[in-house]
Amino acid sequence: MTLLFWSALLSSLVSSLCHSANKHKPWIETEYQGIVMENDNTVLLNPPLFALDKDAPLHYAGEICGFRVHNGPSGSGSVQFEAVVLDRSTGEGLVRSKEPLDCESQREHSFTIQAYDCGEGPDGVNSKKSHKATVHVRVNDVNEFSPVFVERRYEASVPEGRLFDRIVRVEALDADCSPQYSQICFYDIITPNVPFAIDNDGNIKNTEPLDSKRQRVHTFWVTAFDCGKNRAQADAQVVVTVKPSCKPGWIGWTKRVEYTPGSGSIPLFPSLHLETCEETVWNIQATVELQTGHIGKGCDRDSYSDRSVRRLCGAVRGEVDLLPPPSPAANWTATLPTLPSSDSSLVFSFNGSNHVAVVPDSVVSTLSGDHFTLQLWMRRGGSSIQPATTQTRGNRKEEETIVCSTVKNDDTFSHYSLSVHGCRLSLFYWPDVSAARPVKFLWKLEQVCDSEWHHLSLSVQFPSVTLYVDGVTFDPALIHDNGAIPNPAPRQRMFIGACWEPEEKQKEILNNTIPEGKDSGDLLYVGGYHGLLSGVTVRPGSVEPHSVVECLYACREGLDFGDLETLGSGMKVHVNPSQSVLVLEGDDIESFNRAVQQVTYRNSLRFATPGVRPLKLTTSLRCFNEESCLSLKQLEGYLVVLQPDAPQISLSGVGPHLARPAPEFEGPRGVPLFPELRIVCSLSHAVNTAAQGMEALMSDAVAHTLDGCEVQPLGEELNSEREELLVDMDVVRERGLEIINTTAYIAITGAESISVYEDVLRSVRYRLAKGSARFERRFRLSCSEMNGRYTSNELTLEVNFLHSLDSLYHPSHLLASQQQFLHPSHHAGELSGHTLPNPHRNSVVPGAATIIIMVCVGFLVVMVILGVFRIRSIHRRGEGARGGAKEGSSQWDDSALTIIVNPMETYESRMGITADTEGEGEEDEEVAESPDDASDDQRIIIKKEGRDGNARRY
């Protein structure tokens, strides 16, 4: 009984102990990293898979019976992997894949795992499980794939003679998933002896310059290797074509282009095209520049002056020239320095300091009103202008005044000033200096500060102001100036090139100059202009029409484009106002080449100015690859305008001699010098004659415009007290011409037709004062066109004065004439109406001729005196001698004695005309020659008319 009791008791105790032994859960790591090869299914974990249980070493409770795999984040890990227990007592486990893994399809796998103990007995009752641990498995790649080229054939073309860093690039790919086996480690050219090399990136270059003549096409094979040293399954073929050498740039450029006047418009680049050598460009810009250096300012100024252009453009008359050529009537520009100009207008230089023109009050008084048009040519700065003599601190920041004016309008005064400041042009206008508020109109213009000639036309019709710069309209920005304003005094005055100081600082004006060595605060003028001015005019009244302003600057010579309608899409063309710069822009090579070939040179002048015009072509390219974009150098050439057929201006219809009785010249209107003048303008050109196979010159009369004619007395100038030239001023004013009438010449200027000049010149008359008769006068007439570029023939007219005895009735008159002839050294200017030879004209009277003339004059005087005494003796005899006279020729009868001066006798004798046909063989002639400035014989004939009807000449 006792033994059974103790056995039952022990068994009950062991059972009780076993039931209470499985107290703890198994423990595993929280995260595992695993690697598995594509050709294996065992996963190598880090750390190794071990499950621990604190119930060990108890049987069952301390043992690990299994691992369970759960889905990972992707939900598919448990399907592909499983975990098994290798040792229950140690808890060692193993993770393996259920099927082979493919790295290329999925390289990374994730799942969770749990460990379970064996519980309290063999049946696994009351088993416990561990927490879930995450397992990351990476499938290691196996180099199972070989490289494959993207293309089986690669082609490229290159120009010959150059080394290239890259001609073509080949590319191969590997399907392996790992960088080790999927990357291409190197390429290789397997064709031997080819002048090419390949780098590890597949770039192929040439190792030597290629020659298209030696080998036009190069063909070779290349292969690729991955980093596992697997070679490409199939090699790639490379074909390189060698092109003949290509030089990027303009092809077909002609350096010299000739232009024949009268050809209209001609293309400058008829065969020009751009070669980019297959470089892809997305923007092309070409600038064509024609340098018309022969033109001083603006266009066509080598053909017509500013005033002539105004007339040809139909401008309204009445403008006042503020910078006229210096003359006795316009002396306020005499102290201003001038520069040479290609036209007839003067260019005045202003140095910003002491060059100022003060317009007289008599001129300013004609410019009243708030409607006027101010026009001028301006060029700021320039290398030909000397810097200002007085430079003070901050002078460069001051405004430079071009025109400053205060004029009277009825009972008020208005003030305005035109100034430049930097690249800004401003008009300060004060409609009423005593009441209204001033207004400043401001323009920001590049033309103001580019040191080039520009034409400015300012039309003021207050409160409206319009500015034209080179014929283009610019809108102003209005500014109400409320700052410090110098208060102009209510008096008329106008300055050109500066403005006056305020009234309290005014000083006396001396010779239109500023005293040197003074500070700017003490100077008489402020805001001096630094630059060139020309053609400064003001026309009061209505403003100038827009069409006239455009015509004043319109160019008849310059660049143009053939047909704008033929421009391709994306093409743009721009021409500046002076037509000296043309810009083309586009994005297509073919369209751009067609556009360049339509750039033309146009010259509509009838008589184009011959000479050379430099020509430039500048090209700018933009490419997708800016680093390798082409850069083209500037092309330079020149346009040659050939000599046009010169016009011949012929003056005719006036004989070389004009003989009239002296009293006619002393009339109130004088004698017309050129009553039958004819002016003809013709063109001579060569014509091929088929008969002789030679060239002949033919002349065609053309309608043309003259711009000036001049009548000049030859020898000494006119004596203003005794003689003058008269012109019908009504005709001159009606035609809008200008006239300068001095004792040295009379000049008529202005662009007008030939018929107008004929009418004006036919009205030119020569008049003498009473008792101032001469023996002869010589005049010269000439005309010109295009600023004197073409001149006419010089028409010389000799005026002879026919005298009767009444003008020489007293012996003292003859004695006076004798003294004049006998003492030429004391009367070198005028001898009883004779003009002595002028030493400046290289006319010399020989010594022998002088002696003969003096002897003849003396003999003539003696004969006259004897004749007078003889007449007196006859009258004293009275009627005793009335009945009968002695026969013979020793006695004189009481017939009238007539003395006739015939200055035309020598001229008629030269023409083969008999001087006297009466009483041939019965007259004794005594001739006394007198000197004159034309070497023509002047004869005094004493005629005795007797009872027999015959006349005797002495």
What residues does each domain of the chain span? 22-140, 148-243, 249-292+556-641, 306-382+399-504+523-553, 647-682+703-802
Phi, psi of 746 (to 5 degrees): -130, 120
Lowest mean pLDDT across 203-217, 232-246, 528-542, 839-853:
839-853
User: 848: which DSSP letter?
Assistant: H
Give the mean pLDDT of the chain.
75
Residue 841 pLDDT grade (very low, low, confident, very high; cuts 50, 70, 90): very low
The answer to whether the CB of 821 falls within 8 A of the CB of 834 is no
Whether domain 306-382+399-504+523-553 has CATH 2.60.120.200: yes
Between 948 and 325, the higher pLDDT residue: 325
Domains 306-382+399-504+523-553 and 647-682+703-802 share a fold: no
pLDDT of residue 10: 59
Whether 583 and 285 have beta carbons less than 8 Å apart is answered as yes
Per DSSP, the three-state class of 442 is strand
Predicted pLDDT of residue 438: 82
Q: What are phi and psi of 4, to 5 degrees?
A: -65, -35
DSSP state of 206: E
pLDDT at 103 over 50: yes
Give the whole-angstrom CA distance, residue 194 versus residue 191.
7
**Nearest residue to 850 via CA among 935, 950, 777, 772:** 935
pLDDT attached to residue 177: 78
| pTM, rounded to two decimals | 0.52
**Token pair listed for 363:** 């001129």
pLDDT, residue 425, reads: 92
Please state the rounded mean pLDDT for residues 576-596.
Answer: 87
Q: What is the dihedral of CA 803, 806, 812, 813, to 10 degrees?
A: -20
Distances (CA, A) of 455 to 104, 428, 458, 723: 80, 19, 10, 44
Give the residue with greater pLDDT, 16 vs 425: 425
Quote the distance between the C-alpha of residue 732 and its chain's center. 37
**Residues in a beta bridge with 572:** 585
pLDDT, residue 937, reads 37
Instruction: State yes or no: pLDDT of 554 exceeds 80.
Output: no
The enclosing H or E element of 25 equals none
Q: Mean pLDDT, to the nearest integer, of 347-370? A: 86
Residue 472 structure tokens: 């283009």
Q: How is residue 99 written in tokens?
A: 């099927």
Closest CA to 280 of 723, 622, 717, 6: 622
Contacts of 44 (CB under 8 A, 6+ apart): 34, 35, 36
Give DSSP secondary structure letters for 530-580.
EEEEEEEEEEESSPPPHHHHHHHH--SEEEEES-GGGPPTT-EEEE-TTS-
Percent of the chain predicted with pLDDT > 90: 16
Band (20; pLDDT cuts 50, 70, 90): low
CATH number for the domain whose boundaries are 249-292+556-641: 2.60.40
Residue 732's pLDDT is 85
What was the pLDDT predicted at 632? Answer: 86
114-159, pLDDT tens digit by residue?
A: 888 888 777 777 788 888 888 888 887 777 788 999 999 999 988 8
Pairing of strands 830-831, 834-835: antiparallel
Segment of 219-228, 513-522, 691-700 carrying the highest mean pLDDT: 219-228
Q: Band of the pLDDT at 502, cuts 50, 70, 90? A: low
3-state helix, strand, coil in the chain (%, to 5): 15, 40, 45
Range from 346-350, 615-619, 632-636, 813-817 carrying the lowest mean pLDDT: 813-817
CB 871 within 8 A of CB 954: no
What is the SS3 assignment for 604? coil
* CATH match for 647-682+703-802 among 2.20.25, 2.60.40, 1.20.120, 3.40.1000: 2.60.40
Give how far Cα 103 sits from Cα of 79, 173, 303, 358, Å. 17, 17, 91, 100
In the CATH scheme, what architecture does the domain 22-140 have?
Sandwich (2.60)
pLDDT-derived band at 930, boundaries 50, 70, 90:
very low
The per-residue pLDDT for 941 is: 36
- Cα atoms in the Cβ-side hemisphere of radius 13 Å centred on 501: 15
Report the pLDDT averaged over residues 778-802. 88
* pLDDT at residue 911 in the model: 41
Name, in order, each residue with C-beta under 8 angstroms of 905's C-beta and a sequence gap of 6 or more.
Answer: 915, 937, 939, 941
Banded pLDDT at 877 (limits 50, 70, 90): low
pLDDT average, residue stretch 188-202:
93
Look at residue 407 in the predicted model and tell me its pLDDT.
86
Q: In which band, very low, low, confident or very high, does the pLDDT at 857 lie, cut at 50, 70 and 90?
A: confident
Tokens describing residue 577? 């106002």
Residue 446 has pLDDT above 60, yes or no: yes
Residue the block writes with tokens 């070198």: 828
Question: What pLDDT is recorded for position 779?
Answer: 93
**Domain 148-243: which CATH class?**
mainly beta
pLDDT tens readout for residues 6-15: 665 555 555 5
Signed CA dihedral, 491, 497, 500, 505: sign only: negative
The β-bridge relationship of strands 133-140 and 31-37 is parallel
pLDDT value of position 370: 78
| Beta strand extents in 216-324 (DSSP E only) | 217-226, 236-243, 249-251, 256-259, 265-267, 273-275, 281-290, 320-321
Q: What is the DSSP letter of 423?
A: T
Residue 385 has what pLDDT? 45
Give the three-state DSSP class for 600: strand
Checking if the pLDDT of 681 tops 60, the result is yes
Write down the pLDDT at residue 584: 92
Q: Residue 481: its pLDDT value, please?
A: 61
Judge whether residue 5 has pLDDT over 80.
no
d(CA 291, CA 337): 27
Q: Residue 940: beta bridge partners?
A: 901
Query: Which of 91-95, 237-241, 419-423 reaches the highest mean pLDDT?
Result: 237-241
Backbone angles phi and psi of 280, in degrees to 5 = -80, 120
Is residue 265 within 8 A of residue 602, CB to CB? The reply is yes
- If 0-12 CB within 10 Å is exposed, 13-18 middle and 19+ buried, where does residue 537 land? buried
How does residue 677 score in pLDDT terms, banded at 50, 70 and 90?
very high
Which string of b and e fits 85-103 if b means at least 16 CB within 10 Å? beebeebebbbebeeebeb
| Residue 796 pLDDT | 92
**Residue 735: is its pLDDT beyond 70?**
yes
Mean per-residue pLDDT, 187-216:
93
User: So what's the pLDDT on residue 863?
Assistant: 80
Count other C-beta atoms under 10 Å from residue 401's C-beta.
25
Q: Is the model's pLDDT at 205 over the cut of 70?
A: yes
| Banded model confidence at residue 335, pLDDT cuts 50, 70, 90 | confident
**Strands annotated E in 231-370:** 236-243, 249-251, 256-259, 265-267, 273-275, 281-290, 320-321, 338-339, 347-351, 357-359
Cβ-contact 493, 361 below 8 angstroms: yes
Of the chain, the percentage scoring pLDDT greater than 70 comes to 72
- Average pLDDT value for residue range 295-305: 59
pLDDT at 753 over 80: yes
Rounded distance, CA 940 to CA 945, Å?
Answer: 16
The pLDDT-based confidence of 81 (bands split at 50, 70, 90) is confident
Taking the alpha carbons of 102, 103, 106, 108 in that order, is the dihedral positive or negative? positive
Q: Residue 947's pLDDT band (boundaries 50, 70, 90)?
A: very low
Q: Is the pLDDT of residue 698 over 50?
A: no
Residue 892 φ/ψ region, left for φ over 0, alpha for ψ in the -120 to 50 degree band, beta for the rest: beta
Question: Given a cut of 50, is residue 515 above it in pLDDT?
Answer: no
147: closest CA among 117, 113, 171? 171
Mean local confidence (pLDDT), 200-222: 93
Minimal CA–CA distance to 342: which of 496, 453, 228? 453
pLDDT band at residue 327 using 50, 70 and 90 as cut-offs: confident
Residue 196 or residue 878, greater confidence: 196
Q: What is the rounded average pLDDT of the residues 62-73?
A: 81
pLDDT digits (tens, 9 = 90+) for 620-635: 988 877 776 778 889 9
> What string of DSSP letters covers 154-180?
EEEEEETT---S-SEE--EE---SSHH
* For residue 300, pLDDT beyond 70: no
